[in-house]
């Protein structure tokens, strides 16, 4: 998200470290300054030290909730644009987040394109987001990300991941040893 040399920053708040790191890498590859936090307290420290324009907040975290963080983030940084993630599809909780000041909510897992599209619902952010960033990922990329999510859900257990994906363990290992495909299909 760069326009006329400007760089924008985003705060990613999620207690699932693998998911958060994957998103952080994807955002930084697109030119964002990325700040990460695993819980409410870490996020508040980032908000105190930096002024990110955007925040992606997981609603369900250990300790203080994402709802509490949405309210605190808006108190500390009234101009911040917030999108919330919910892994449990709770419409009531997500709508409460909207009432507290979030722009939008997305079900987990969400990829960078979905997140950017949610931020683009804000008129001023829509101007900042390059429409090329919203093009769909390649099929190979979608497959690789799905495998990574299932692997994370299985705490890195290859055999259990293969069983859940209904593929042979060796086939899964071959797929995992390949590098991640590019985020965008080649034109």
List the pLDDT tens digit at each of the 187 positions of the chain.
444 444 789 999 998 888 899 899 999 988 899 999 999 999 999 999 998 999 999 988 888 988 899 999 999 999 999 999 877 656 677 778 888 888 888 887 788 888 888 888 764 544 444 444 445 566 776 777 778 778 878 888 989 999 999 999 988 888 877 655 665 554 4
pLDDT number for residue 89: 56
Question: How many whole angstroms from its chain centre is CA 168?
Answer: 30
Residue 112 has phi, psi (to 5 degrees) of -60, -40
3-class secondary structure, 123: helix
Helix (H) or strand (E) holding 137: none
pLDDT number for residue 143: 77
Output Rg (C-alpha) for the chain, integer angstroms.
17
Q: Retrieve residue 178's tokens.
A: 């390949």
Pairing of strands 54-58, 81-86: parallel
pLDDT number for residue 172: 86
Half-sphere exposure of 181 (CA within 13 A, CB side): 15
CATH class of the domain whose range is 2-131: alpha beta
pLDDT number for residue 162: 92
Q: Which CATH number fits domain 139-177: 3.40.50.1100, 3.40.980.10, 3.40.640.10, 1.10.10.60?
A: 1.10.10.60
8 Å CB contact between 43 and 37: yes
What is the domain partition of the chain in residue ranges?
A: 2-131, 139-177
Model's pTM, two decimal places? 0.64
Residue 108 has phi, psi (to 5 degrees) of -90, 145
Q: Is the dihedral of CA 172, 175, 180, 186 positive or negative?
A: negative
Write down how long the chain is: 187
8 Å CB contact between 77 and 53: no
């Amino acid at each position: 998200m760069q326009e006329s040399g400007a760089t924008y920053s985003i705060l990613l708040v999620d207690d699932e470290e693998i998911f958060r790191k994957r998103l952080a890498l994807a955002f930084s590859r697109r030119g964002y300054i990325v700040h990460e936090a695993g819980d409410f307290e870490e996020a508040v420290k980032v908000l105190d030290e930096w002024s990110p324009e955007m925040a992606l907040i997981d609603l369900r975290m250990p300790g203080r909730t994402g709802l509490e963080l949405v309210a605190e983030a808006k108190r500390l940084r009234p101009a911040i644009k917030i999108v919330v993630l919910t892994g449990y599809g709770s419409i009531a909780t997500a709508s409460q987040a909207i009432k507290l000041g979030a722009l939008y909510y997305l079900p987990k897992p969400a990829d960078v394109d979905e997140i950017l599209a949610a931020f683009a619902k804000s008129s001023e952010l829509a101007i900042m987001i390059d429409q090329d960033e919203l093009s769909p990922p390649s099929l190979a990329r979608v497959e690789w990300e799905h495998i990574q999510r299932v692997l994370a859900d299985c705490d890195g257990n290859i055999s259990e991941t293969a069983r859940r994906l209904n593929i042979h363990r060796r086939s899964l290992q071959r797929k995992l040893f390949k590098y991640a495909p590019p985020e965008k299909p080649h034109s």
